[in-house]
Amino acid sequence: EDARLPPPQNISILSTNMRHFLTWSPVTIQGETVRYSVEFQGEYEREYANESWIPIGECSLITATVCNITEDISATVAYSLRVRADGGARRSEWGTLKGFFNRNTTSLTPPLMKVTADGYHLLVELEDMGPAFQFCVLYWKKGEESRMQQKMVKEVSSTVHLDTMEAGREYCVKAQTYVDTINRSSSFSQAQCVRAQGDRSVWL
Amino acid sequence: SEIRSSFTAIKANIQARDPVRTLSILSHPHSLHRVQSSDKCCIIHKVFNFYVDKVFKHCQTEDTYVNRKISSIANSFLSIKRNLEQCHIQNKCLCGQESTEKFKQILANYEGLNVTSAAMKSLGELDILLDWVEKSR
């Protein structure tokens, strides 16, 4: 009987909004629980530390086939990742991710936001996506798209006050995320429009 | 801020390993804060190279969590070092007399200790460096 387990296959990264997960296909053995261990290697380790690998404690001898590597992918350099299987008394060779992973390839989605009119005040609440994220918010009077205004929101702690609105006018808002550490932005969210209180009086 | 949070997570552990409390690598005999602004880019470039080339590789510990954080810091330093190299190539990071002397002093302080003690002490002084770099922005 072959003493070694086959290495995990289909090793890949799922990375969205700066949260990175390593996934792989399960290794199956009749009647045995298979456990997996994950290690990473940054560009520093490859070039300055004898190509050493570093184990991820939270993903040592786990039964799941996914590992959250976000905390360890904390620099904008190329990382290698590998995973191996242990089952019964048997152990596999390392299965290594094809190519490298750099967090600047993460996919960025537009932020969730809620736009409200509080009397004459145009307010927006933005999704808290973590410390790496800033937001570019654009807002305008409906029909006056050419006179868009912009506000950069560096920290999402509470509702953001955008503008004081004209009575009865409709205002629209859209937003995108910006991640400074990788110098990239998401696409813009759908515009949301609200109407200020009061009716639009016509000045003669 | 990522470097700062990684360092904060292991600072007590690293500084507890520093046996020589009466010496400083970065601040002896003069603090970094005395460096003129014209020389700051050069000092930052040289010191980041120093950490990447000499310090981190001698900071292995028996604690895998600490090792992971050191890796985070080292890879972030490597990324910044690359960016600084661009400045250097474009002559925007020139080294004057003072920065050359200051960096020589840092190396002398480092080489005055055995390599592991010197590396751990240097790593433990990262907050001195980060405070100074942030103040220099």
Q: What is the pLDDT of residue A201?
A: 61
Q: What is the pLDDT of residue B137?
A: 66
**Min Cα–Cα distance to chain B from A145, Å:** 37
A49-58, A94-103, B12-21, B118-127 — which is least confidently predicted? B12-21
**Inter-chain touch A131–B67, beta carbons under 8 Å:** no
Q: What is the pLDDT of residue A50?
A: 94
Question: Which of B44 and A8 is assigned the larger pLDDT?
Answer: A8
* Residue B53 confidence (pLDDT) above 90: yes
* Residue B112 confidence (pLDDT) above 50: yes
Half-sphere exposure of residue B14, counting CA atoms within 13 Å on the CB side?
27
Number of cross-chain residue pairs from A and B with Cβ atoms under 8 Å apart = 59
Backbone phi and psi for residue A117, each to the nearest 5 degrees, phi listed first:
-105, 120
**Inter-chain touch A54–B71, beta carbons under 8 Å:** yes
Q: What is the pLDDT of residue A53?
A: 97
Q: Are B123 and B59 in contact (CB under 8 A)?
A: yes
Cα B53 from chain centre: 11
**First vs last Cα of chain A: how many Å apart?**
94
Q: Are B65 and A71 in contact (CB under 8 A)?
A: no
Q: Does B1 touch chain A (CB under 8 A)?
A: yes
Question: Which mean pLDDT values do the consecutive 10-residue runs of chain A (204 residues) have?
Answer: 84 98 95 96 96 96 98 96 95 97 98 95 95 96 95 89 95 97 97 89 51
Which pTM was predicted?
0.89
Cα B24 from chain centre: 12
**First vs last Cα of chain B: how many Å apart?**
13
- Nearest by CB: B71 against A44, A47, A181: A44
CA B127 – CA B132 distance, rounded (Å)? 8
Q: State pLDDT tens for residues B91-103.
A: 677 788 888 888 9
- For chain B, give the mean pLDDT: 89
- Nearest by CB: A77 against B56, B68, B78: B78
**What residues of A are in contact with residue B6 (Cβ under 8 Å)?**
74
Identify the DSSP state of B67: H
Q: Is the dihedral of CA B126, B127, B130, B131 positive or negative?
A: negative
Strands (E) in chain A, as ranges, are 12-16, 19-23, 34-41, 54-55, 66-68, 80-87, 90-91, 95-96, 113-118, 121-126, 133-141, 149-153, 160-164, 170-179, 184-185, 192-195
- Nearest by CB: A54 against B53, B68, B76: B68
Q: What is the pLDDT of residue A2?
A: 57
Q: Shortest CA distance to A105 belongs to which of A11, A20, A176, A10?
A: A20
Q: Please, which residues 113-172 of chain A have a Cβ atom closer than 8 Å to chain B?
A: 131
Q: What is the pLDDT of residue A200?
A: 67
Q: What is the pLDDT of residue A204?
A: 43
**Inter-chain touch B72–A43, beta carbons under 8 Å:** no
Confidence of residue B127 (pLDDT cuts 50, 70, 90): very high
Q: What is the pLDDT of residue A79?
A: 98
- Nearest by CB: A55 against B57, B64, B75: B64
* Residue B108 confidence (pLDDT) above 80: yes
Task: Quote the ipTM score.
Answer: 0.89
